[in-house]
Amino acid sequence: MSLLLDNEFKPLPPDKCVDTEAFLEAVSHLPSFFDCLGSSVFAIIKADITGNITKIKTAYLKDPQKFVTLQDLLISEREAQADKWPLVGATLALMWLKRGLRFIQILLQSLADGERDANNPNSIRVNVVKAYEQALKRYHGWLTQKLFSMALLAAPCRSNFLKALSKGEDVGEEDCLAKVRQFLENFTPTVDAIYEMYTKLNAELSYTV
């Protein structure tokens, strides 16, 4: 289970501001997970997420003492590029990254909740489709939706996916799902807090790609 739990997200402080450095450290381990999934279609998703993380990190490293929280970063970009914001830099990258994180959160929660296709219990199709419809579909035009369909066809079966989450280790399904639930304890509030920040700052955009 080390893939998820080695890289657990930190608990949120009472003000729900996400620490930039800790966030970047936690998400930096996500892209390598796509290598466990096999199909090359996941390389596109990996590249997209890696690009988002690199952009946020580059912005953060310009002044780590100033950009202690993700909100500090967004507000600074809003002040510096008021004419284009929020379509700039780390603000744009995090807007997209949070949607990928929401996808992962809904997928893992659905698996942890035991949602399954009764006719095909070793498939994660229902879980993946649920996550896609709630987190990403509304931001995708037909071409990107086709890409999703390809990724869906290449999705591993449930047992292999849980094994990939466990980094290939021979962990029982219930143990794996218990660790997923533990991971979600900090991951879900972090993703929620980023969404709330985008709403509060009026930084959310709804265009499709």
Q: Which residues bind ligand 0SG (CB under 6 A)?
A: 37, 44-45, 48, 51-52, 55, 87, 92-93, 96, 99-100, 103-104, 107, 128, 132, 136, 139, 144, 147-148, 151, 155, 161, 209
Work out how close the CB of 160 gets to ligand 0SG at its nearest, in angstroms, rounded to a whole number.
Answer: 10
Q: Cβ closer to ligand 0SG: 22 or 154?
A: 154
Work out how close the CB of 53 gets to ligand 0SG at its nearest, in angstroms, rounded to a whole number.
Answer: 8
Q: Where are the alpha helices (DSSP H) in 30-124?
A: 41-61, 70-80, 89-112
Residue 160 exposed, middle or buried by CB count within 10 Å (0-12, 13-18, 19+): middle
Nearest-angstrom CA–CA distance, 104 and 111: 11
CB atoms inside a 10 Å sphere around CB 208: 12
Q: Cβ closer to ligand 0SG: 16 or 45?
A: 45
Nearest-angstrom CA–CA distance, 153 and 157: 10
Work out how close the CB of 205 gets to ligand 0SG at its nearest, in angstroms, rounded to a whole number.
Answer: 8
Work out how close the CB of 139 gets to ligand 0SG at its nearest, in angstroms, rounded to a whole number.
Answer: 6
- DSSP-derived secondary structure letter, 69: B
Q: Cβ closer to ligand 0SG: 92 or 171?
A: 92
Helical packing angle, 41-61 and 70-80, nearest 10°: 80
Work out how close the CB of 159 gets to ligand 0SG at its nearest, in angstroms, rounded to a whole number.
Answer: 13
Q: Cβ closer to ligand 0SG: 144 or 159?
A: 144
From the centroid of its chain, how far is CA 103? 6
- DSSP-derived secondary structure letter, 63: -
Q: Cβ closer to ligand 0SG: 148 or 192?
A: 148
